[in-house]
Chain A
């Protein structure tokens, strides 16, 4: 008797897509519209501990109080830590392969107590350092997204 041929079937989800509509909230919306319309960063300050949050949110976790005070913050800051991504993966925001390599960093904007993630305009890790100064470079066409900032550029090359 001939050995049974083993065929293991897989079902591909292919181009299937499930759309979502997420809410940024009042403070997230204010942040994104300022970015889009005025190329400015704003944060929100805790009335109890004074910590300034970016991205803005309406609660300070440690104090557990409501945050209402919007404050302007700088578009410059420093690198807290960084990486250069060189492996390929599917970007769930687009369904496409993310273009690599790219550098990105945890950035502390001046006047802010929290950090943001953003792209760097450098892909050689030997040319990036913790503590380096960076400044936001804005896109010409802006839509109200973190990607209205194209990347942060290294200031002291």
Chain B
């Protein structure tokens, strides 16, 4: 049957454009020490560690081995995962599986990246096929621009609709002392920023960030040992649909209409498991992996927050602002901080803080249900639903 699992401690570094004062291991250690302190436990209490980043951003493989002093994994079980942008949420899901299995009671999840150490776009391209993709593909910015062009063509959405999302994320980040960008960009500022890859402008994109995040997962048998209120994992799901970079556009445009099947399927699965029928009303806060502005329109549709094509009207209504029906990314989200291996785990950490009522100036009142997502590569998705009440049973 398995164990029910809660987040009982979180730690994060301040997210910064560059951290030349620390090595990867030292950066990891900052987040781990913060998480252990937050949970009121020591390294000795941790039964296993799950860690993730994308090796090609630093060009140093096997972080699971070379970080053991800093991660606290010295002479403990450790598993390393790399799944692209979803790395941080995959690490969280793997830590959840470890504890839910009943084999481990207290598992430490770590996500980190030092994006300052390489050319992010060049490094991303190395994740793609050398024959069919690499000669043409221009990394995440351009891949997302292809999605934006298609979305605008199919829905009539505008660049200004997208700028509304980007401005919201930067406005929210002002409340988060850990966020990388603390710049109150207006819609006008974003519209006037230079094109990186038409129709995506500088102001529409996430930054490149150095940062780390650590989260402690505990079994229902031991949650009472921890000082903070448990933030329970209610259900998790993930979906992949990609072989070559042009494949997702096939799946989206031809077979399934024009939405985002990996996200829609994964979200649909967790909603079914938990019994969510009206996500906009029933979910109190969402920390979504929105790597650029247009995602904040289209992914709302795939998450069932509105009808297809309804993203622009939804965000312009204020429903996703602080004080709205379901605030999206009170932390400022990915468009304000993107240390890629940490990014998904930060979504989970932020949801935990919201459920525990410990999110400071970015706190949403009375959070009972929180939604975290991870986005990776060519449109694959991780989805985690978290809550204040212990679930009836663990749900894969």
Contacts and interface: CB of A to CB of B under 8 A. Distances in A.
Interface of A: 8, 10, 13, 20, 22, 24, 28, 32, 55, 57, 61, 80-87, 89-93, 98, 104, 106, 113-119, 125, 130, 145-147
B142 A85 contact: yes
Given A8-B20, A116-B246, A117-B246, A89 B198 contact: no
A2 B127 CA distance: 48
B115 to A, nearest CB: 13
Contact of A114 (B134, B197, B246): B246
B126 interface: yes
Given A57-B243, A119-B136, A145-B135, A90 B130 contact: no
Interface string B111-143: 000000001011101100011111111110110
A116 B132 contact: yes
Nearest to A115: B246
Contacts of B268: none
A87 B200 CA distance: 11
Contacts of A55: 131-132, 244
B135 A147 contact: yes
Nearest to B148: A83
Contacts of B138: 83, 85, 89, 98, 104
Nearest to A145: B135
A92 B134 contact: yes
B20 A93 contact: no
Given A91-B122, A146-B132, A114 B250 contact: yes
Contacts of A145: 131, 135
B253 interface: yes
A113 B142 contact: no
B245 A82 contact: no
B147 A81 contact: yes
B130 A22 contact: yes
B153 interface: yes
Interface residues of B, number: 43
Interface of B: 20-21, 59, 119, 121-123, 125-126, 130-139, 141-142, 145-147, 149-150, 153, 194-200, 243-247, 249-250, 253-254
Contacts of B145: 83, 85
B201 to A, nearest CB: 10
- Output the residue of B122, B126, B137, B253 with the most chain A CB within 10 A: B122
Given A55-B244, A80-B249, A114-B250, 4 more contacts: A55-B131, A61-B243, A81-B150, A83-B145
A19 to B, nearest CB: 12
B128 to A, nearest CB: 10
B249 A90 contact: no
B11 to A, nearest CB: 24
B122 A117 contact: no
A87 B141 contact: yes
Contact of A86 (B122, B130, B134, B198): B198
B131 A83 contact: no
B135 A87 contact: no
A10 B19 CA distance: 11
Contacts of A86: 194-198
A41 to B, nearest CB: 13
Contacts of B199: 83, 125
